[in-house]
């Protein structure tokens, strides 16, 4: 067996607790409770194992990672292990003294999410009154603490028309980068798909906005943007390919090739409580099953793009076809591609109201779109 390249990044999902209730949240439908979370010492060990495996960056995520009181200690352990530390946060629980403690512990970067550029709609989408104003204040505190800032704007039908304002907001807040991230439709987002999928004309306008802004803001703001799967001809290399670039650890310690992988049935994920990250990465079935190209069905198996997109997203393939080993329906060569056109047509007359994310209140499976 040829040597397996080490992962570059670790997504550390420290908790599923979050004061916001975004209807597109990428956390699983069954959310972990606080009592089941890994403790500080276990996370410290995990960061050491990650660094020894070759990981360079840790993304401290959730849920809302700042809901953990031991976050400065966790940052200190991760930085002490030599990892570049990126905090992915909704921001509303932060203040100047907490940010100072995180910076002092060795935090390298903050990625702050915003739900919209318009406060009322942002608070409605996040299900948290006053959240948007709080985020703007926190963004300024991040810059005051001397930390680099990325704005993370998750976009969909109900905020995409304000993309120009979101880009202006990133500039105004002193962010060096904005990630314009289209919703990925599994989990909570799949339950809300009819309320979130943008229309084609809306998407084309957004893509033109990004192209013009990239030209205008060269050297001032980096804009990350990828056309969403439901309108693409070919899928993205989800997570850079299964078990190739990134691994994730859930709040309860499950070691995952992707934060959404728990949605796949019939898979057993090792746990950091009894398996090392190295053993999981190199040998666990959860990592080897869809790594590389040997598992692929046709048309991927004989396709010359198979080592570019690695067959797309397994979670999306399962969510739409019921088969995790199918070609991602986002690919126009997939026999299931028409499912995406149906979803777009359904969303055109779709609902505006959301099923908000809540711990202990997963939407019924029968309520999810087929
Ligand atoms: S997407 Fe929203 S609800 Fe989910 S963790 Fe992030 S801020 Fe919280
Ligand atoms: S057939 Fe498979 S490998 Fe080829 S472009 Fe589509 S998803 Fe990618």
* Closest residue to atom 1 of ligand 2, CA basis: 300
* Per-residue CA distances from 94 to 14, 117, 339 (Å): 16, 20, 42
Ligand 1 binding pocket mutation candidate from 14, 15, 64, 125 (most atoms within 8 A of CB):
64
Nearest ligand to the C-alpha atom of residue 152? 1
* Closest residue to atom 6 of ligand 2, CA basis: 331
How far apart are the CA of 126 and the centre of ligand 1, in A?
8
Low-confidence ranges of the chain (pLDDT < 50): 1, 365-366, 370
Residues in the ligand 2 pocket, defined by CB under 6 Å: 234-235, 299-300, 303, 305-306, 309, 311-312, 327-328, 331, 333
DSSP, res 254? B
Total residue length of the chain: 370
Q: What is the pLDDT of residue 347?
A: 77
Q: Which atom of ligand 2 is nearest to the CA of 235?
A: 7
Nearest ligand to the C-alpha atom of residue 135? 1
Ligand 1 binding pocket mutation candidate from 13, 112, 113, 123 (most atoms within 8 A of CB):
113
* Residue 339 CB coordination number (10 Å): 17
Are the CB atoms for 238 and 258 separated by under 8 Å? yes
Q: What is the pLDDT of residue 263?
A: 85
What contacts 24+ positions apart, CB below 8 Å, involve 333-336? 333/299, 333/303, 334/299
- Per DSSP, the residues of 77-122 read HHHHTT-EEEEEE--TT--HHHHHHHHHHT--EEEEEES-SSHHHH
**pTM greater than 0.75:** yes
* Per-residue CA distances from 331 to 34, 150, 202, 291 (Å): 39, 30, 21, 19
Q: What is the pLDDT of residue 192?
A: 92
* Closest residue to atom 2 of ligand 2, CA basis: 300
Contacts of 71 (CB under 8 A, 6+ apart): 14, 60, 65, 102
Q: What is the pLDDT of residue 361?
A: 64
Q: What is the pLDDT of residue 355?
A: 87
3-state DSSP call for residue 293? coil
Are the CB atoms for 190 and 236 separated by under 8 Å? no
Q: Which atom of ligand 2 is nearest to the CA of 234?
A: 5
Tell me the HSE value of 147 on the side-chain side, using a 13 A CA sphere. Answer: 29
* Per-residue CA distances from 55 to 49, 178, 227, 253 (Å): 9, 24, 28, 17
Q: Which atom of ligand 1 is nearest to the CA of 90?
A: 7
Are the CB atoms for 307 and 293 separated by under 8 Å? yes
């Amino acid at each position: 067996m040829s040597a397996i390249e080490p992962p570059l990044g670790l997504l550390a999902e420290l908790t599923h607790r979050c004061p916001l209730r975004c209807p597109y949240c990428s956390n699983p439908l069954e959310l972990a409770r606080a009592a089941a979370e890994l403790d500080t010492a276990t996370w410290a060990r995990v960061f050491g194992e990650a660094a020894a495996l070759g990981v360079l960056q840790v993304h401290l995520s959730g849920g809302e990672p700042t809901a953990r009181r031991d976050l400065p200690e966790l940052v200190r352990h991760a930085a002490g292990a030599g990892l570049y530390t990126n905090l992915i946060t909704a921001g509303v629980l932060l203040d100047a003294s907490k940010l100072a403690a995180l910076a002092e512990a060795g935090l390298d970067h903050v990625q702050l999410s915003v739900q919209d550029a318009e406060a009322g709609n942002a608070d409605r989408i996040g299900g948290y009154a006053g959240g948007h104003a709080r985020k703007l204040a926190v963004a300024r505190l991040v810059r005051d603490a001397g930390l680099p800032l990325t704005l993370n704007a998750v976009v969909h039908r109900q905020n995409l028309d304000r993309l120009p304002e979101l880009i202006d907001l990133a500039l105004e807040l002193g962010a060096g980068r904005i990630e314009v991230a289209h919703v990925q439709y599994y989990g909570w987002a799949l339950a809300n798909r009819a309320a979130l999928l943008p229309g084609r004309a809306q998407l084309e306008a957004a893509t033109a906005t990004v192209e013009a802004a990239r030209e205008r803001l060269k050297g001032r703001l980096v804009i990350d943007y990828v056309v969403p799967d439901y309108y693409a001809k070919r899928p993205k290399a989800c997570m850079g390919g299964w078990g190739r670039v990134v691994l994730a650890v859930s709040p309860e310690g499950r070691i995952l090739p992707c934060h959404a992988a728990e949605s796949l049935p019939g898979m057993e994920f090792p746990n950091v409580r009894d398996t090392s990250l190295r053993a999981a990465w190199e040998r666990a079935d959860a990592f080897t099953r869809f790594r590389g190209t040997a598992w692929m069905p046709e048309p991927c198996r004989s396709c010359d793009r198979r080592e570019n997109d690695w067959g797309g997203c397994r979670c999306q393939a399962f969510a739409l076809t019921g088969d995790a080993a199918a070609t991602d329906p986002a690919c126009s060569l997939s026999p299931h591609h028409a499912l995406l056109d149906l979803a777009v047509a359904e969303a055109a007359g779709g609902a505006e109201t959301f099923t908000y994310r809540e711990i202990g209140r997963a939407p019924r499976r029968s309520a999810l779109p087929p």
